[in-house]
Amino acid sequence: MSIFARSPADRVIVVGAGVAGLATALRLAPRPVTLITAAPLGAGTATGWAQGGIAAAVAADDAPSLHADDTCAAGAGLTEREVALRVAEAGPGLIDWLVALGTGFDREANGSLALGLEAAHSRRRIVRARGDSTGRTVLDALVCAAQATPSIEILVAGLHGLMRDADGRVRGVVCERDGVAFRLPARAVVLATGGVGALYASTTNPRGALGRGLLAAARAGAALRDLEFVQFHPTAIAAGRDPMPLATEALRGEGARLIDEFGAPVMAGIKGGDLAPRDVVARGIFQALGRGRTVYLDTTGRLGERMPQRFPTVAALCAEARIDPAVQPIPVRPAAHYHMGGILVDEAGRSTVPGLWACGEVSSTGLHGANRLASNSLLEALAFAPRIAESIGDASVLAGADRPAPLPEIRPEDPAVLIATRGILERYVGVVRDEAGLSQAVAQLTDLSERGSDAAATGLMIARAALGRRESRGAHWRSDYPGQLPARHSVVTTAAADALVLQELTDA
């Protein structure tokens, strides 16, 4: 059956074909699903670039409660303990589900899962595949499963916006393919569109990670939470590429050290050292760069010699940059990597707008708080997918509204304006922030947004949230407000189309 022939009363639309979108579509089977992907299936998604792995408490000396403890500690007071525990408890079963789909995780000689260690984890719990190719391996398995599932139809198209009926319920999407825009009514829409990293000049994310799903949800009236918390991966390879290749955190778990050009340890005297939480390491490197130092990830010696086998992805990236990690340290710097903020959702992935769900990086579930624990991202998406599917299945089917009204559409970006937007976010809304810089960002992004840039409009929401949080917490570091206030979330809502109101809510 054609996607255009399906009844809106039956159709569920999932936008995005990374781990979040694919897992949700598979969990919805046999319900009819139209999976919308901006690039051919298996391409253009951050999932395929994920190197580290999936955190899961499967070792004999581990437990979900310990995993939840580490998640809460990294989240700097904003992680919701019950969410962290629920996701951690789901971890082992989700690994089993992926294995049943054909995911080939690395194993020890005795057949047990090979487990790695990453920063801020108290146990070895990082389940990996093909060394540092976990994301690609998991994505390939999910793509094969989706292609073999009759209830899932794939549509390569760009998201232009959502549609909403007179009661305020999301009832479909507006898409574009081959230069033609068209409407797809549906009973439910799941946004799994990823993050915002490509709004920054230095990023490890695909170029399409411009927060389109975030902006579409805002224009539908959905509440957005904690937009100011952007995670900067400390060890992007500084080799002149855009996006920047990533040197996985697992390298430091295996003994790699951060040094400057004189061989001095960059993280000396800082609690946790090279294995401190990501925000701490990113600031340490950023401050060293600010002092005129050059920062390297030192893998020379035995670790570098083993990299083609243990970390083949990083080894290949180094080879492309003409770096031999066995004898040369790898130049690194922080880069925008993951957005902890997103569409505010409940325990079943429901947004504050009826008919709209969100899964993965585009959502704010309460798991990551102010700073995501390494290798919890794929886990979060996998854990919420079945909850979303169950919630949609339980939702009542509404009759009528076959032609809901489209909301303001997301427009193509002018390349020069996008470059300007990326530069503003990089300079003023980066690893370390202050009021003067954030005020500059708000003023400049407001001007670009009023001139028609949706990327600037999304960046403006992030800059406004960062300006409003006058404290330092997790990935949000204010040099002018280094202390902490009582823990609270920031929530953005839309009073009218594109009229944003920032509210400070006391954390319950």
The residues assigned a catalytic role are 278
Compute CA distances 252 → 152, 296, 298, whole Å: 40, 12, 9
Cα 426 to chain centroid distance, Å, stands at: 18
Identify which of 136, 58, 56 has the alpha carbon closest to the alpha carbon of residue 103: 136
Per DSSP bridges, beta strands 54-55 and 115-116 are unpaired
Q: How far apart, in whole angstroms, are the C-alpha atoms of residue 107 and residue 493?
A: 46
d(CA 192, CA 340): 14
Main-chain dihedrals φ then ψ at residue 182, nearest 5 degrees = -150, 160
Nearest to 128 by CA among 120, 136, 20: 136
What single-letter amino acid sits at 213? G
3 state SS of 300: coil
What residue type is assigned to position 296 of the chain? Y
User: Using an 8 Å Cβ cutoff, are 170 and 356 in contact?
Assistant: yes
Beta carbons of 244 and 238 less than 8 angstroms apart: yes
| DSSP 8-state code for residue 485 | P
Amino acid letter at 105? F
Pairing relationship of beta strands 158-164 and 405-406 according to DSSP bridges: antiparallel
Spatial separation of the C-alpha atoms in residues 461 and 62, rounded to whole Å:
39
Q: What is the total residue count of the chain?
A: 508
